[in-house]
Amino acid sequence: MNTAYDYFRQACRLEEPDRVPVALLATSSFVPGFSGINHLDYYGIPDKWLEAQLALLRRFPDVVWVPGPCVDYSMASVAAAYGARLYFYPNRPPAWAPLIKDLSYWADVEPVNPKEHGLMPLILRQEAHVEARLQSEGFGMQFAFSWGPMSIAATIMGIPALLTSVMDEPGMVARLLETMTTSSIRWLHAQLDLMREPMGLLIGDDVTGMVSRKHFEALIFPCLERMAKEFDGLIRIYHNDTPCQHLFRGLAQTGFDVFNFSHEHDIGEVKASVGHRMALMGNISPLEVGLRGTPQDVRRAAQACLDKGAPGGGMILSFGGGTDAGTSAENLDAMIATAREWRYPRQKAGSDKPKETR
């Protein structure tokens, strides 16, 4: 019998699996709170981290969690590598302060070294430890996680300064983004090297949605295309939940396999724009429906997404963004049940019971 990961792989190949997979972005914004664990304990005590991750994996075996079990400090892992001050809290992920807004300071900065800089060596050491423990429980790390070059640049400069520089100094921004791309690639490789059975990677790239098509094509597209080529053979998931319809066609040509986008976009329109080039991972509203809605609300939204996005293949049911902190297990159950019960038109015509491939 197929597993959730089998269906997920098929959807990533733009196929129509017998069951539409459910995959959810769950980072440190969601995972500790779901298990009632203090964020400081989650980061500081490996046993607490493992407890939180295993609770999620065991409670929802029909969900592909992305990035799944990894030691996730949000953007703080990259910010610290460049010298940012970090702020830790008991009930949310760490924050950071942008460093220097002057682009000329950053234009020729060196890429990070994950084995020496900031929190990265400690994260890798902990991941090597917990990967062995996850394997002993029948699980394991399968997705590496990094931020895209624009998001990393915005972390160290601040978003307003970066976007102004995109307009005023595109040449220097191009050099900075090339370096940030190298940093992201190095960080992803360092994580993947620790995994027994790596499946893919997730790139978070919200800031890119704030630029024009012209600047995207000139400055950002080459970086994303380089990243996709670097990890050819793995499942490459691109997350950008900033409304950015003007970039859809360009993003579809980068080489990424899966697109997780804003719930503000109609999934049928996204499918028409992207074409049969990227699997779509979405697009239930994470806040209004996932967090604040009832299970019935989730079912209605999931049904609408599936009806528009699943026919033709390449559909992964998810939120249009990350899983918000406080989202109930009952709402997640409703999403999973809707995906399990939904039928492709070919299945409705042939049989009430989908066939399992072996």
Q: Give the pair of three-digit tokens for residue 270.
A: 């996204």
Pairing of strands 315-319, 95-96: unpaired
Q: Is the pLDDT of residue 357 over 60?
A: no
Among 281-285, 294-298, 306-310, 344-348, which is the least confidently predicted range? 344-348
Whole-number Å distance between alpha carbons of 153 and 161: 10
Instruction: Determine the pLDDT at residue 267.
Output: 96
What are 165-221's pLDDT values in tens digits?
A: 999 999 999 999 999 999 999 999 999 999 999 999 999 999 999 999 999 999 999
Look up the pTM and report it: 0.94
Q: How confident is the model at residue 348 (pLDDT cuts 50, 70, 90)?
A: low
Mean pLDDT for the chain overall: 93
Q: Would you state the pLDDT for residue 350? A: 55
Q: Check pLDDT > 50 for residue 228.
A: yes
pLDDT at 349: 58
Kindly indicate the confidence band of residue 275, based on its pLDDT and cuts at 50, 70 and 90: confident
- Mean local confidence (pLDDT), 94-122: 94
Q: In this model, does residue 96 exceed pLDDT 50?
A: yes
Closest by Cα among 279, 277, 280, 298 to 289: 298
Q: Which helix (H) or strand (E) holds 10?
A: helix 4-12
The region, left, alpha or beta by phi > 0 then psi within -120 to 50, assigned to residue 170 is alpha
Closest residue by Cα to residue 100 from 153, 177, 150, 51: 153
**pLDDT of 283 above 50:** yes
* Separation between Cα atoms, residue 39 and residue 89, nearest integer Å: 7
Q: What is the pLDDT of residue 170?
A: 97
**In the structure, what pLDDT confidence band is assigned to residue 144 with cuts at 50, 70 and 90?**
very high
> Sheet of 235-240: strands edge to edge?
63-66, 22-25, 315-319, 279-284, 258-261, 235-240, 200-204, 143-147
pLDDT higher than 80, residue 292:
yes
Q: Give residue 253's pLDDT band: very low, low, confident or very high (50, 70, 90).
A: very high
Q: Is the pLDDT of residue 156 over 90?
A: yes
User: What is the Cα–Cα distance from 176 to 243, expressed in whole angstroms?
Assistant: 24
Q: Is 97 exposed, middle or buried (0-12, 13-18, 19+ CB in 10 A)?
A: exposed
What pLDDT digit, counting tens, does each position of 25-71 carry? 999 999 999 999 999 999 999 999 999 999 999 999 999 999 999 99
Report the largest interatomic distance among the alpha carbons of the chain, rounded to a whole angstrom.
64
pLDDT value at 239 more than 60: yes
- 358 pLDDT tier (thresholds 50, 70, 90): very low
**Does pLDDT of 271 surpass 80?**
yes
pLDDT of amino acid 337? 98
Q: In CATH, what class is 4-342?
A: alpha beta
pLDDT at 353: 46
**What proportion of the chain, given as a percentage, has pLDDT over 70?**
96
Reported as a pLDDT band with limits 50, 70 and 90, residue 345 is confident
Confidence check: pLDDT of 254 > 50: yes
pLDDT score of 227: 98
Query: 95-96 and 86-87: which strand pairing?
Result: antiparallel
Dump the DSSP string for 308-346. HHSTTS-EEEEESSPPPTT--HHHHHHHHHHHHH---HH
Query: Is 218 buried (19+), middle (13-18) or exposed (0-12) by CB count in 10 A?
Result: middle
22 phi and psi angles, rounded to 5 deg: -110, 125
Q: How confident is the model at residue 2 (pLDDT cuts 50, 70, 90)?
A: low
